[in-house]
Amino acid sequence: MLKKIYLLSLLLVLSASTLAQHQQHHHRHGHDHAWGRNDKGLHIVTSFSDFAAIAKYIVQDKGYVEFISDGKGDPHFVPPKPSYAMKMRYADMWVTTGLDLEVWSTTLLDKARNKKIMDGEIGFVAVSDGVPLLQKVDKADRTEGDIHMMGNPHIHTSPLNWKHIARNITIGLQKVDPDQADFYITNRDQFYDMVDRSLFGDALVDMFGGETLDELLRNKTLFTFLDREYQGGKLLNYLGGWLKDAIPFRDKKIIAYHKNWAYFSDTFGLDVAGYVEPKPGIPPSAKHVQNIINLIESQNLELMLVATYFEKATPQMIENRTGIHGVYLPLSCGAAPGTEDIFDLMDSWIQSINEALE
């Protein structure tokens, strides 16, 4: 009897061991699926959550999208975690700004050892291609702080640039998955239309088309054009979308902590009079803070834009000293509740600024 019990116990132990090994194998195999190696279609990894949000509109059910940074931390400095490199190891496409913002990605690409997503390969996408870049620098001078020689890289803060981002992602998808090219182009065009209607409203898009309106806005002639008479009123009466919502703060002078908001300001007509940082990436000195306080008081400035990942002590002190309204905005999708989608992110920015002015 004791021998039977011993044999039964031994059998149970061996069975449990075999099951555990099977589960471990299945877990690894499950990871292979999660990294896009089997039945989930294309695996796309983006540097930032904003690019991921746009990519999802285009790829839809033909693959899935992951990102490295969600904007809760400084996008200039992302730690090269092994888990990030593992995401990239099995990626079919790597989507990055293509400027000098994601310097940290070089280490991840080296660790990932995925040749097809290296710069110059078909799986590498630089979304800044074709974007009219602001704040270009003629020559390097490190005394000027953490400058971006190729231009301001925070391109996602203007909806006008989303269309360039979507175009570049679509080109990448056509290269890595040419059989579905028409599918991606159709989704890209639908995304373009969503952007145009969210930015200008339905009426103007139906009247003039998004491409014409985009050009007028970039050339700073849209509002002059909309001042024309039309059917007993002004064309401006037909403006909708974010541009209409942003009229209360159009042409206002503001303070910004960093140059995150250059493209947003360019699109929505804000004039950045000064920065909390004396130079990009350089912490503000007491003297510089006093100069900013003097500027705010002398020009009666009402708004100060601060990305939420920055330290709060300095801008809050400036608020207390001057009465300026500090508006703390998540820079990227998912950095605050309710901002997982890029359209929701833009809604939240404009709503927050308007609420600060009430």
Confidence check: pLDDT of 15 > 60: no
pLDDT for 124-142, tens place per residue? 999 999 999 999 887 766 5
Per-residue pLDDT, averaged over 288-313, amounts to 97
Per-residue pLDDT, averaged over 340-352, amounts to 97
289/350 same-domain check: yes
Sequence-distant contacts of 264-269: CB under 8 A, at least 24 apart: 264/157, 264/158, 264/349, 266/134, 266/158, 267/158, 267/159, 267/160, 267/217, 268/242, 268/243, 268/350
State the pLDDT at residue 141. 65
The answer to whether residue 177 is domain-embedded is yes
The answer to whether residue 342 is domain-embedded is yes
Question: Is residue 154 located within the same domain as residue 215?
Answer: no
Same structural domain for residues 55 and 188?
Answer: yes
- Distance in angstroms (rounded) separating the CA atoms of residues 106 and 119: 10
Mean pLDDT, to the nearest integer, of 69-91? 93
Share of the chain above pLDDT 90, in %: 80
What pLDDT digit, counting tens, does each position of 225-280 carry? Answer: 999 999 999 999 999 999 999 999 999 999 999 999 999 999 999 999 999 999 88
The CATH number that applies at residue 159 is: 3.40.50.1980
Q: Residue 206 above 80 pLDDT?
A: yes
10 located within any domain: no
pLDDT value, residue 218? 97
3 part of a folded domain: no
Q: Write out the H or E segment, with its range, that includes residue 67.
A: strand 63-69
pLDDT-derived band of residue 144, with 50, 70 and 90 as boundaries? low
User: pLDDT band for position 11 (50/70/90)?
Assistant: very low
Are residues 282 and 213 both part of a single domain? no
| Residue 213 and residue 311 share a domain | no
| Strand locations in 71-225 (E) | 93-96, 124-126
Q: Identify the domain containing residue 168 by its residue range.
A: 42-131+143-192
Please determine, for residue 25, whether its predicted confidence score (pLDDT) is greater than 80: no
C-alpha distances in Å from residue 313, one per residue of 109, 216, 280, 310, 324: 36, 40, 18, 9, 14
Average pLDDT over residues 172-195: 98
Do 185 and 230 lie in one domain? The reply is no
Do residues 264 and 308 share a domain? yes
- 251 and 287 housed in the same domain: yes
Report how many domains make up the chain.
Answer: 3
The pLDDT value given to residue 32 = 30
- The whole-angstrom separation of Cα 107 and Cα 98 is 15
| 289 and 230 fall within a common domain | no
Q: Are 318 and 348 part of one and the same domain? A: yes
Mean pLDDT of 26-31: 29
- On whether both 188 and 306 belong to a single domain, the answer is no
For 234, list phi and psi in degrees, rounded to 5.
-105, 150
146 pLDDT band, cuts 50/70/90, is: low
Residue 24 lies in a domain: no
Query: 291 and 207: one domain?
Result: no
Please, what is the angle between helix 105-112 and helix 82-89, to 10°? 60
Residue written as tokens 């360019």?
Answer: 266
Task: Pick the last residue of a domain from 239, 267, 294.
Answer: 239
7 within a domain of the structure (yes/no): no
Sheet holding 124-126, edge to edge: 63-69, 42-48, 93-96, 124-126
**pLDDT tops 90 at residue 293:** yes
Whether 69 maps to a domain, the answer reads yes
The pTM score is: 0.86
